[in-house]
Amino acid sequence: MMFLEGKQETVIQELKQAMAKASQELKFEKAALIRDQIQAIQQVIEGQKIAITVRGDQDIAALAQIKDIAYVEIFSVRNGKLLGREHFILEGISDEMPSHIITSFIKQYYSEASSIPPLILLQHPVEEPVVISHWLSKLRGTQVKLRIPRQGAKKQLLDMIVKNAQQGFELYQARQSTNIAAAITLEELKHRLNLPRAPLRIESYDISNIRGNTAVGSMVVFEKGAPRRAHYRRFKIKSISGIDDYAMMQEILRRRFERFAKTEDKWGITPDLVLIDGGKGHLNAALTVMNAMGLNQIPVASLAKENEEVFVPDKLRPVDIPQTSAALYLLQRVRDEAHRFALGYHQRLRQKGSTASALDSIPGIGPKRKKMLLRKFRSVQGIKEASLDELADTQGMSLKLAAKVKEYL
């Protein structure tokens, strides 16, 4: 929702325009509904001004639930500053306890997260906290603690975020009946890009590689202006070596749409818009694949980072979209999410590869000893920071081998 991302005035202005249009068309009931939504947004904005008063790195998760829908809001604090905030709608949870809901959410959210902090503050206890904490610690490489604060600054911060989640949920419900803001944005996007219909399903693709190493691609999906994370996909680049973003983009598109032709599951859904991260060259590379596969009926556009310019087929110059446009903001959100998802996967693979190579180069440290060291110290960094005696005390190790590990690391 745009007002949660710092776009409150954009949303209010769009709703005011929609209200004026409804009044001009003598649709007074619709105009009254929009007026009520504007008032609801204005009331909620004040309650969403969060002051961060805690230090360090941590995530804070809060839950609001009514009947079979839950609203989870998660704040990411890094070095004592609010780095980001996200909200998620969970449906079909009528008989589930808050503990089960938050446990399921944590498993899904952090399995895809690009970073995991050492501390996660929760409103409700998770099921099997030792198991969840161990799993998170393994993903992070160092210990991750789950806490329900009872007092102090952390408790005050959690209480504010719980209240924020409740208010956000109330506003979500108020807007859900017509979802006017999303409809306005998608209609604008249809008009700006000259699409045959409003892009209810947008698929965005990005490539992440550093000097051609461990290149990966991502596919993210937005439906009705919101992320559809269950439809996200990752790709390891298989056929391209070196640095060739165009060819890599063509590979992941080819693999995605080969599945499109063969299946009726999530892969078989036709996107209303394919969005490529890049400029005119990336767009042309994508079109080459799409046209060769007989998919020229699927609209394709690209969004270049440098000047936030949008390119479409058969036009040399970028599309004229104002920088303040809600349509451009949606494209940026989708593009940035594809980039985040690709980068997180790339970092995970690189970390895995560097862990293996760093230990594999040490004489006398085979698979079993490597496994024991990583099990005890969690990461290569943990092994580096361990004392000689701590290393030697590890199962299968000796003082001589411990000294060799210290020498190599």
- Please choose, from the candidates 186, 183, 180, 176, the residue with its C-alpha nearest in 3D space to the C-alpha of residue 272: 186
- Res 113 pLDDT > 60: yes
Q: What percent of the chain has pLDDT over 70?
A: 85
What is the bridge-based pairing of β-strands 233-236 and 145-147?
A: unpaired
| pLDDT, position 375 | 84
- Please choose, from the candidates 331, 327, 342, 321, the residue with its C-alpha nearest in 3D space to the C-alpha of residue 301: 331
- Res 162 pLDDT > 50: yes
Amino acid in position 215: A
Q: Among residues 176, 204, 232, which one ends one of the domains? A: 176
- Res 14 pLDDT > 90: no
- Res 396 pLDDT > 70: yes
In a domain, 246, yes or no: yes
In a domain, 355, yes or no: no
- Res 127 pLDDT > 70: yes
User: Measured between alpha carbons, how far is residue 198 from residues 189, 267, 287, 403 in Å?
Assistant: 7, 20, 20, 64
> Each residue of 201-237: pLDDT tens digit?
999 999 887 655 678 888 999 998 888 988 998 888 8
Let me know: does 82 contact 93? Beta carbons within 8 Å. Answer: no
In a domain, 8, yes or no: yes
> Each residue of 49-88: pLDDT tens digit?
455 566 788 999 999 988 788 899 999 888 877 777 888 8
What is the bridge-based pairing of β-strands 119-122 and 145-147?
A: parallel
In a domain, 145, yes or no: yes
In a domain, 41, yes or no: yes
| pLDDT, position 7 | 52
Q: Among residues 112, 144, 176, which one ends one of the domains? A: 176
How many domains is the chain built from? 4
Q: Which domain holds residue 380?
A: 361-408
Q: Do both 252 and 159 map to the same domain?
A: no
Q: Do both 308 and 342 map to the same domain?
A: yes
Q: Do both 276 and 376 map to the same domain?
A: no
What CATH number should be reported for the domain holding residue 378? 1.10.150.20
Residue 201 tokens, joined: 């399903």
> Each residue of 171-205: pLDDT tens digit?
777 666 546 678 888 989 999 999 999 999 999 99
Q: Which residue has the higher pLDDT, 392 or 268?
A: 392
- Res 5 pLDDT > 50: no
- Res 342 pLDDT > 50: yes
Phi/psi class of residue 152: alpha, beta or left (left: φ > 0; alpha: ψ in -120 to 50)? left
What phi and psi values does residue 225 have, to the nearest 5 degrees?
A: 85, 5
| pLDDT, position 120 | 95
What phi and psi values does residue 62 have, to the nearest 5 degrees?
A: -130, 150
> Each residue of 263-319: pLDDT tens digit?
666 677 899 999 999 999 999 999 999 999 999 999 999 999 878 999 999 898 999
Q: Among residues 147, 176, 205, which one ends one of the domains? A: 176
| pLDDT, position 80 | 77
Let me know: does 74 contact 110? Beta carbons within 8 Å. Answer: no
From CA 341, how far away is CA 113, in angstroms rounded?
A: 8
Rounded to two decimals, the pTM is: 0.48
Q: Do both 269 and 220 map to the same domain?
A: yes
Q: Do both 339 and 196 map to the same domain?
A: yes
Q: Do both 62 and 42 map to the same domain?
A: no
Which band of pLDDT confidence, cut at 50, 70 and 90, is reported for residue 48?
Answer: very low
- Please choose, from the candidates 359, 342, 382, the residue with its C-alpha nearest in 3D space to the C-alpha of residue 118: 382
Q: Which residue has the higher pLDDT, 173 or 18?
A: 18
In a domain, 53, yes or no: no
Q: Do both 328 and 369 map to the same domain?
A: no
Write down the mean pLDDT value for the chain: 83
User: Picking from 11-20, 60-69, 353-362, which range would have the lowest pLDDT averaged per residue?
Assistant: 353-362
Q: Which residue has the higher pLDDT, 161 or 45?
A: 161
The distance in angstroms from the start CA to the end CA of the chain is 47
